[in-house]
Structure 1
C-alpha cells in the first residue's frame, strides 16, 4: 500500500495588523461641537438676513473659522498599535514607528520625543493640572487611610515620572486620565520598540484639508475688507 505524497500546505495569509487604540479629548470634542453650533447659528443668520456685504463677510468668516475650530477641537487624536504611534494634531499628522520613539514625556504638556530629538506635542491628550491635584488629594487620603497607593510616589501622581505605575495601580483613582494614557503608551513603547514590525522612518504630513479651506476663507475675507 502506497502512501500519498505530502502536499505542501497553502500559504498562510499575513497576520492582521493590530487594532488601533484611539485616544481623544472628550472635553475638546464637546467644546468643538458647541462652537460649531454657535458659528453655524450666527453665520447662517447673517447669510439669510444680512444686507449688503454682510452675507459675503459671513460666508468668508465661516470658511475661515470652521476649519480652525475643527482643527483645534474635534480633529486631534492619538492612534497607537503594536507597530507605531500616529498623532493627529491640528495641522499635521505624525507617524512614528515605536523604534523611532525615544521617550514620552509629561509635564505641562504631553509630548513624544524621537531618537533624533524632535518633539511633537500630543494635542489630543491635554494636561489638566486640576485633575492632577485632585488625583494627588485622593492619593493623600488613601495613604492617610493606610491603604496601598495606586501609581507609586508623589512624582508619579503628578505624571512627571516615566514608565508605568506599580502593579495593581492601573485601576486606581490616583492618576489623572491623560497621565494614565501616557503610562499605557510608555508601556507599549517599551514592549515594542525593538520588534521588527515597529521599525521604519518617521513621517510627517501637513493637513491640507484644514489649511486649504482656512487659507481660502482668509483670502476671501481680506479681499472683501480691502474692497470696502
Structure 2
C-alpha cells in the first residue's frame, strides 16, 4: 500500500480527491468546478484546547526545574528557556508519529494486509489493545478508512470504521477522550449520510493508549451532528470575513 498516492472517490457525479502528503481534499462538481474542502479535524481546530495548553506549560516548567543549576549565566538560562518552550512541539510530533503508525497498522489489518507488530513499543502496546478489543466478539464492517464529503455543506474527512450494525467508530491514541471528539463523529455521520447514503445508528470512540490503556465511549450522534453544524457555521463566518 503506497500511502503517498492520492485517493479518488466518485459519488453522485462528484469526484473527491485526497492527497495523503498534503492532507488536502479537492472536490470536483458534476459541472467540472473544483474547490478545496476543509477537513472535519481542521474545522474542529477552532475549539480551544485548555488541557493541551496546561500540558505544554507543565512540560516546560518541569524541564526548567530539572535542568536549572544555580549560577547559570544569562546565555545558559536563555538557552534553557528556549529549549523548554519548544519541548511540547517535539513531544507532540513524536506522539503524532506513533499515532499514525497505529492507524496505518489498523488500516492494513482491516484491509487484510499481513503485517508484523510495530517495533515501536508504544505503537505495539496500542495495537495489542486494539486486537484484544477486535477479537472480543466477531466483528464485521461496512467501511474502513474511507474518505467522504458533504458538498452542500462544504467539508470532507476520513472515516476510521463503520461496523456492520452501522456503528461509526473513531480510533484515538490520545491520553484521554476529549469532548470535541464527539463533534468529529457528528461531522463524519452527516458526510456519510450524504456521500454514501449510509446513516450511522451509533457512535463509538475507541481509545487505544500508547501506554497500554484502553477505553470506549458511546456518542450521542444526534447531538453531535447538531453541535458540529453550529461549529461549521462559525468556521464559514470566520472564513468569509
Q: TM-score range by the shorter chain?
A: 0.3 to 0.5
TM-score between both structures, scaled by the size of structure 2: 0.31
Determine which structure has the larger strand proportion and give its number. 2
